[in-house]
Amino acid sequence: MGENLKIACGVFGAINFERQPIFPYMYWGLRAQNHRGHQSHGFLTYADGKFYVHRSLDLVPKIKTSAIQEWFGRLPGHIGIGNVRYTTSGKTDDKSLIKGTQPVTASKNGLKVAISFNGNVVNTFQLKREISREFPNFSYECDADLICHKLIIELAKSKDLAAAVKKCMQEIEGAFSVSGVTGEGEFFAFKDPHGIRPLCAGHSNDGKTYAFSSETV
């Protein structure tokens, strides 16, 4: 039973088309998925070409109303991605867990990308060998690092996000769902071609905010 629960994890990503703060959606979208990942959580927002990140162990905490403005300051922006995580492999001491906390980022040739990931990658050895040719000192704590670096390599080659995502979907073997944002402020989400991992899409009642999530929230 416990091992079955550990394959869950949860991803969330959202964008507000009127450039209003996305953090409230991020917070409630992840907090509603706390049951999917008790070991760590993380938020990443995008504003003016920069990523703003908060990562921590344990559940997404309850935030008091009096503290919400502080969080707006720490995580500004109208685009955000987040993750709640259970480890499916590797060490589970606090040091290892914090290293594997998502979202993760990668950069190459002036480009950068961040993703939140749920799933398991099968062809890890092949991907690590390919990535190591571009990043000689590459090491990874979780499968999210593999996908993120594979994506930035393809993005650096094609300069086209859709083409890079398509290449990843074709060449990464396994079951996964991903939400992400580029350093140019392009928001995206995708899942494995077989649709094994869940990824729901929805929008706010006013149609100004769109989101992707591992569950309906």
Per-residue pLDDT reduced to its tens digit, 51-79: 999 999 888 888 887 777 888 899 999 99
Half-sphere exposure of 37 (CA within 13 A, CB side): 32
CA distance 129 to 188: 26
The pLDDT of residue 78: 98
- Name the β-bridge partners of 98: none
The pLDDT of residue 27: 92
Half-sphere exposure of 151 (CA within 13 A, CB side): 31
- Give the residue extent of every domain in the chain: 2-213
Please check whether residue 90 is in contact with residue 39, taking contact to mean a CB–CB distance below 8 angstroms. no
The pLDDT of residue 11: 96
pTM confidence score: 0.91
- Classify domain 2-213 at the CATH class level: alpha beta
Q: Which pLDDT band, with edges at 50, 70 and 90, does 119 fall under?
A: very high
The pLDDT of residue 30: 93
The pLDDT of residue 16: 98
Residues 6+ apart with CB under 8 A from 114: 44, 46, 51, 81, 103, 104, 105, 148, 180, 181, 182
> Is a pLDDT exceeding 50 seen at residue 1?
no
CA distance 117 to 9: 8
Per-residue pLDDT reduced to its tens digit, 172-203: 999 999 999 999 999 999 999 999 989 999 99
Average confidence score pLDDT of the chain:
91
The pLDDT of residue 178: 98
